[in-house]
Structure 1
Amino acid sequence: MADESTQSIIVEADPDTIMGVIADFAAYPEWTGAVKEVEVLAEDDDGQAKQVHFTVEAVMFKDSYTLEYEWATDGLSVSWHLVKGQMQKAQRGRYLLEPQGDATKVTYTLSVTLAVPMIGLFRRKAEKTIMDIALKDLKRRAEGL
Structure 2
Amino acid sequence: MAVSSSSSFEIKADPGRVMAGIAAVDRLPEWSGPHKTVVVETTHPDGRPHRVRMTVSIIGLHDEQVVDYYWNGDESMSWTLVESHQQHQQDGTYTLTATESGTRVDFTLTIDPKIPLPGFMVKKAQKMAMETAERGLTKFVEQQL
Same fold (TM over 0.5): yes
2-structure distance, mates of 1:61, 1:12: 33
2-structure distance, mates of 1:78, 1:143: 19
Which 4+ stretches in 1 moved above 3 angstroms? 119-122
SS in 1 for 2:117: coil
Instruction: Output the amino acid matched with 1:22.
Output: I
| Aligned counterpart, 1:82 | 81
Structure 1 residue 121, shift from structure 2 partner: 4.8
Task: Show structure 2 runs of 5+ residues with no match.
Answer: none
1-structure distance, mates of 2:125, 2:57: 14
Instruction: Output the amino acid matched with 1:45.
Output: P
1-structure distance, mates of 2:81, 2:94: 15
The C-alpha deviation readout for 1:28-74, integer Å capped at 9, x for no partner, is 2222212111011111122211111111123412111011111013x
| Aligned counterpart, 2:28 | 28
1:109 aligns with 2:108: yes
- Please give the root-mean-square deviation of Cα atoms over the aligned residues, in Å: 1.6
| Kept in 2: contact 1:69–1:78 (CA 8 A) | yes
Deviates more, 1:3-12 or 1:79-88: 3-12
| Aligned counterpart, 1:19 | 19
Instruction: Output the amino acid matched with 1:80.
Output: W
2-structure distance, mates of 1:94, 1:87: 20
Q: Give the % identical residues.
A: 34
The C-alpha deviation readout for 1:88-115, integer Å capped at 9, x for no partner, is 1111110011111131111110000111
Task: Show structure 1 runs of 5+ residues with no match.
Answer: none
How many residues are matched?
144
Instruction: Output the amino acid matched with 2:81.
Output: L
